Structure 1
Amino acid sequence: MAVLSTEDEGKFLMDVRGEQIGIITEVDPDRQVAYVDLDPGLAEAWMESLGRGEAGDDDAEVPSENVETITDSEVRVDADLGTGA
């Protein structure tokens, strides 16, 4: 299990196949949950990539136990969320 931090805000969320799922808008480090915008518009994506996004009501929650790896630019989950698996 990886440890999520606020430094992960603005990173791309990727599935096991390396496909982009969305952008992390916010991280709750106490609960170890990342909030992900699955369909950001261009302006939203730009703000989120700068780490300036905020979790919205429609953002998906991704708990840290589903995170496989974290790099400088992405967070990769251990499932293929793109197909509902």
Structure 2
Amino acid sequence: MSVLSTEDEGKFLMDAQGEQIGIVTEVDPEAQVAYVEPEPDLTEAWIQGLGFGDADEDDIEVSGDAIETITDTELRVAVDL
């Protein structure tokens, strides 16, 4: 398990094989949940990258327990979602 923070907003969520799943739109650090837009368009990705986006109804929830590693640009899950 990795510890999620609001600093992780705008990062890419990658699967175990290195394929992009989506982009993190929002993080709830108390619940340790990342909300991920599974198919962001270019505008959404740009807004999220700047840290100005919010989660919406089509985002998927990813628990901090599922995150294996966190880098400067991505979160990587241990298994495929």
The verdict on a shared fold, with TM-score over 0.5 as the criterion, is yes
| Alpha-carbon distance between aligned partners in 2 of 1:50 and 1:37, rounded to the nearest angstrom | 15
Give the match for residue 7 of structure 2: 7
Question: Gaps (5+ residues) in structure 1?
Answer: none
Runs in 1 of length 4+ with deviation above 3 angstroms? none
Q: Which amino acid aligns with 1:50?
A: L
Once the two structures are TM-superposed, the CA of residue 53 in structure 1 deviates from its matched residue by 1.1
Give the match for residue 63 of structure 1: 63
How many positions carry a matched residue from both structures? 81
Secondary structure in structure 2 of the residue aligned to 1:26: strand
Moved more, 40-49 or 60-69: 40-49
Once the two structures are TM-superposed, the CA of residue 49 in structure 1 deviates from its matched residue by 1.2
Once the two structures are TM-superposed, the CA of residue 45 in structure 1 deviates from its matched residue by 0.8
Same amino acid, percent of matched pairs? 65
Question: Gaps (5+ residues) in structure 2?
Answer: none
Once the two structures are TM-superposed, the CA of residue 52 in structure 1 deviates from its matched residue by 1.3
